[in-house]
Amino acid sequence: MRRKMLINRLPLYLFFILFSAVSGHGCSVPVFRYALERWRADFYTVIVSTRGTLEDEAVALLQEHAIDHDSLSNYTVRTIDLSTPAGARYAEENDITTTPWLALYYPSHANVRGLVWQGPLNETNVKRLIHSPARTAVAEKLLAGEVAMWLFIESGDPKKDDRARKIVQQTLERAAKELKIPSTGVDIDGNAIEVTDFVDYVVHFDVIDIARDDSTEMILLSALLGSEPDLPFYDEPMVFPVFGRGRALHAIIGDGITEKTVFDGCRSITAWCSCEIKAQNPGIDLLISADWS
């Protein structure tokens, strides 16, 4: 029953994004465009655990791409010396027995908190934390004008995956043909106004398939599957709509992946935004390195 509720709540959450504040705020910008231009991605926290001073190429690479160094990634880096009393407590609380150690945490202001992923600090893991093929593709396509990217997480069962993938692909094609950016907006007094900025905008959506055992996508998979408490326990295909600067909404899962749920998601993202604070909306920002400006 709980999963059924989770499956069916996406359209409701999207409705909340669009219309919860329209009555008090004039807006003539679609959701996906407003999020791309206004919603700055939240910062993840990376904690490096060492014993004493550590000079390492992997650490240098990690720090080079941190937001603290004016890079394009949305994470900050903290170093904890486990040989100190505070570090020893941290090691005990997090069962760290090997150093150097790398741990990635969700943004402090996110709708979900806690650990995303952890493992040995080495060059391979640092590179996978900073970049991945799917995250790079998401950023490139959103910046190129794609309304939303749909991340399809395979279950590993070919029959289930083929059924769900077919529904998603066919529905996205239908949405691209049928959906248009509204030509009538609302001013601050609630009066209808004509909007011509998006008359010729080509609405398009795309999907990226990701296998659950794809090691190059371990950070993305951990972030998505950890975004709701019960997701790791389901061996069903899942799809996450991603828009703006990498904002991933709640998953649609298994039999909940229908033409209606996918189409409603597409339609909601192309409608007018309520122009409110990002934190009041569902979803999480993904860790993505991109020049959103």
Domains of the chain, by residue range, sit at 2-40+134-285, 44-131
**Nearest in space to 287 (alpha carbons), one of 235, 254, 242, 234:** 242
Cα distance between residue 74 and residue 227, in whole Å: 17
- Rounded to the nearest 10 degrees, what angle do helices 158-178 and 259-270 cross at? 40
Cα(first)–Cα(last) distance of the chain, in Å?
42
CATH superfamily of 44-131: Glutaredoxin (3.40.30.10)
Which is higher by pLDDT, 229 or 187? 229
- Model pTM score: 0.88
pLDDT of residue 243: 96
Cα distance between residue 79 and residue 81, in whole Å: 7
**Which whole-number Å values give the CA distances from 155 to 67, 163, 209, 239, 290, in the listed order?**
34, 11, 11, 11, 29
Instruction: Decide if 138 contacts 246 (C-beta within 8 A).
Output: yes
pLDDT of residue 182: 74
pLDDT of residue 147: 97
Q: For tokens 């909306």, what's the residue?
A: 281
Instruction: Decide if 208 contacts 151 (C-beta within 8 A).
Output: yes
Peptide bond into 100 cis (omega under 30): yes
Q: What average pLDDT does range 193-213 have in this prediction? A: 85
| CB neighbour list of residue 75: distance below 8 Å, 6 or more residues apart | 43, 44, 45, 46, 65, 66, 67, 104, 129, 287
Instruction: Decide if 63 contacts 77 (C-beta within 8 A).
Output: yes
Stretch among 20-34, 146-160, 189-203, 246-260 having the lowest mean pLDDT: 20-34
* Per-residue tokens: 43: 């910062």
Instruction: Write the pLDDT tens digit of every residue in 266-283.
Output: 998 988 666 566 666 778
